[in-house]
Structure 1
Amino acid sequence: MAPATIANIYALLLGFATAGLLASAYQVCAQKPLSFRLLDDRPGAALACVPLLTFGAPFVIMRNTVRGRLRQGRRFEYAMIATMLACFWSLMSGTVIVSIIQHLPW
């Protein structure tokens, strides 16, 4: 396997792991699951919610996709498109996290 492929898989997995960690930590602290409705709940706090949702969105998208498929019987095509979107988002946020880690002064 090419080194670039391994780096992309690592970034994808790191993005999903970070999203799960942030969503779980938010749920422990706020006693409610992370949702995109945070932006509507408190307009003044929307700026503080953007970084949380930026890195936690892949988890929220996948959770909503699985729930929609199981509970509402949504079509497979919609689940596949949402999964591809969550994977792309996770890859991009994982790439940002990897570049931040690389630039830290260890």
Structure 2
Amino acid sequence: MSPDALNSFFQLCIGFALAGAIASAYQAFAKRPPSFSLLQQGPSPEAFAAVPLLVFTAPFIIMRNTLRNGAAEQHRVQFVMIATVLAGLWSLMSGTFIVMTLEALGILA
């Protein structure tokens, strides 16, 4: 495995782990799971505060909704694959942002 591929895999894992950790912390604090409906409150401080939360928890929410709805309905394979690829790419970008931030702060070499 090349160093670039290993680095990308590491960033993907960090993105998914961060999404799950932030979503779990939000659920423990708010007593309800995070969802995209947080943005439907209209222009309010809560909606603006929800944007950074949803940016980092979106891969977790997408996969949770895909798996939860898959048990109730029979989804087509294409839909599940698109949702998985979307969550994976989003997680990769979140992980890349976190790794670059940690490198800029001097925490990672």
- Which TM-score bucket, shorter chain as reference? over 0.9
Q: Which amino acid aligns with 1:65?
A: T
Q: Which residue of 1 aligns with 2:41?
A: 41
User: CA deviation digits over 1:14-58, x for unaligned, max 9?
Assistant: 000000001000000000011000011353021111110000000
RMSD of aligned alpha carbons: 1.1
SS in 1 for 2:36: coil
Using the size of structure 2 for normalisation, the TM-score is: 0.93
Q: Which amino acid aligns with 2:84?
A: T
Count of aligned pairs between the two proteins: 106
Using the size of structure 1 for normalisation, the TM-score is: 0.95
Q: Which residue of 1 aligns with 2:55?
A: 54
Q: Which residue of 1 aligns with 2:91?
A: 90
Please give the residue correspondences for 1:1-106 in structure 2 after superposition, counting only pairs within 5 Å.
Answer: 1-41=1-41, 43-44=43-44, 45-106=46-107
2: CA distance, partners of 1:40 / 1:53: 13
1: CA distance, partners of 2:56 / 2:94: 6
Q: Which moved more, 1:90-99 or 1:37-46?
A: 37-46
Give runs of ≥4 in structure 1 deviating > 3 Å.
Answer: none
Residue segments in structure 1 that go unaligned for 5+ positions in a row: none
Residue segments in structure 2 that go unaligned for 5+ positions in a row: none
